[in-house]
Structure 1
């Protein structure tokens, strides 16, 4: 059964903007978007590059390998029709927590709903 895992203090995330956390043995990149914590699997579904080394631009987390642009909220990559796993986040007592089971969408229709 999946559970919530402590990832990083919110104050630390605000200073660093992006950190790596380990959730169930998987590296997860945790970042702020519009002031809210978000989390995405660190290893790109395309060529296994580290998304932690990418940048966030116009609501997308850009992979440093081949510039796939994953939506920061859903993980959807529109041009290639693939999804990077994302994790639900919450803040409890100043600590960003990540739900240990990732979400993966299979189509843009799922994003709209």
Structure 2
């Protein structure tokens, strides 16, 4: 895995969210309950910036049509689409690293969604 330094915990700060760009790729960082998560910033639905969304109950809510993406997986429970996420590592000095290879988990099948 190739890790890229994208920000510091201080930059993420109290707002708990930050938009960064790495080699032209926009990434939205979110912090909640002591963990940092990284998402492709543009929503898979209509290219809205997730950075402008809301963090609520372990989900980031897109400001466009209120799709709710799980912070752990990028899944949207009511849709068959998944938002690309990236592995995150935070060093002891507060540097936030992201692996730029998306960690998208395949969307659940209709049968799996019913169980």
Q: Which runs of 5+ in 1 are unaligned?
A: none
Shift of 1:31: 1.2
Aligned to 1:9: 8
Shift of 1:7: 1.2
Aligned to 2:95: 95
Give aligned pairs, total. Answer: 108
Output one character per residue of 1:79-98: Cα deviation in whole Å (capped at 9) or x when no partner.
01210000100012320000
Q: Conserved in 2, the CA contact under 8 Å of 1:24 and 1:100? A: no
Which is strand-richer, 1 or 2?
1
Output one character per residue of 1:54-95: Cα deviation in whole Å (capped at 9) or x when no partner.
001111100010010000111000101210000100012320
Runs of 4+ in 1 over 3 A off after TM superposition: none
Aligned to 2:85: 86
Q: Which has the larger radius of gyration?
A: 2
Tell me how far apart the structure 2 counterparts of residues 61 and 19 of structure 1 sit (CA, whole Å): 13
SS state at 1:83 partner:
coil
Give the CA RMSD over aligned residues: 1.5
Q: Which runs of 5+ in 2 are unaligned?
A: 110-115
> What is the TM-score of this pair, normalised by structure 1?
0.88
Equivalent residues in 2 for 1:17-56, closer than 5 Å: 17-56=16-55
Shift of 1:33: 1.9
Tell me how far apart the structure 1 counterparts of residues 17 and 89 of structure 2 sit (CA, whole Å): 16
